[in-house]
């Protein structure tokens, strides 16, 4: 049973560019959440998707957007990249019923130069 997978593992972009990160949830899970983990910090909630809609959003600007597909996989898009967007981006999946337990992927390390 595959857990949460994310791609790519690492990514290097320059300021102003756009980036798309991808996540496949654990088998059977229908809810996907995205987090940003800056170096030396705990993860910060970006948003959560369920039934292809953004259900909740954290304190992140509109440059951060997402999508969920019918197969429950998800994308995180960041436009107009800033140096401060450099971080580990974590995807977590859960069941809509019983979302107290989230399963995290290994993350995508984004470096903005």
Partner 1 sequence: AQSVTQLDSQVPVFEEAPVELRCNYSSSVSVYLFWYVQYPNQGLQLLLKYLSGSTLVKGINGFEAEFNKSQTSFHLRKPSVHISDTAEYFCAVSDRAGGSYIPTFGRGTSLIVHP
Distance CA 11, CA 72 (A): 23
Find the shortest distance in angstroms from Cβ 81 to partner 1: 22
Rg (C-alpha) for the chain, rounded Å, is 13
In the complex with partner 1, the residue whose CB is nearer, 10 or 15, is 10
Find the shortest distance in angstroms from Cβ 44 to partner 1: 7
Find the shortest distance in angstroms from Cβ 27 to partner 1: 16
In the complex with partner 1, the residue whose CB is nearer, 43 or 81, is 43
In the complex with partner 1, the residue whose CB is nearer, 33 or 78, is 33
**Peptide bond before residue 8 is cis, with ω within 30 degrees of 0:** yes
Q: What is the torsional sign of CA 79, 86, 44, 53? A: positive
Per CB under 8 A, residues contacting partner 1 are 4, 33, 40-45, 48, 56, 58, 90, 92, 94, 99-107
> Strand 74-78 vs strand 19-24: parallel, antiparallel, or unpaired?
antiparallel
In the complex with partner 1, the residue whose CB is nearer, 40 or 70, is 40
Find the shortest distance in angstroms from Cβ 4 to partner 1: 7
> Which residue in 111, 43, 50, 41 sits closest to 82, CA to CA?
111
Residues 87, 38 contacting (CB under 8 angstroms): yes
């Amino acid at each position: 049973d595959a857990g949460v997978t994310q791609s790519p593992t690492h990514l290097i972009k320059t300021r102003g560019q756009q980036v798309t990160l991808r996540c496949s949830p654990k088998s059977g899970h229908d809810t996907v959440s995205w987090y940003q983990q800056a170096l030396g910090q705990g993860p910060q909630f970006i948003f959560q998707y369920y039934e292809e809609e953004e259900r909740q959003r954290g304190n992140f600007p509109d440059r951060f957007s997402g999508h969920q597909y019918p197969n429950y996989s998800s994308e995180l898009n960041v436009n107009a990249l800033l140096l401060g967007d450099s971080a580990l981006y974590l995807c977590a999946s859960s069941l809509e019923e019983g979302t107290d337990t989230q399963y995290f992927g290994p993350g995508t390390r984004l470096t903005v130069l």
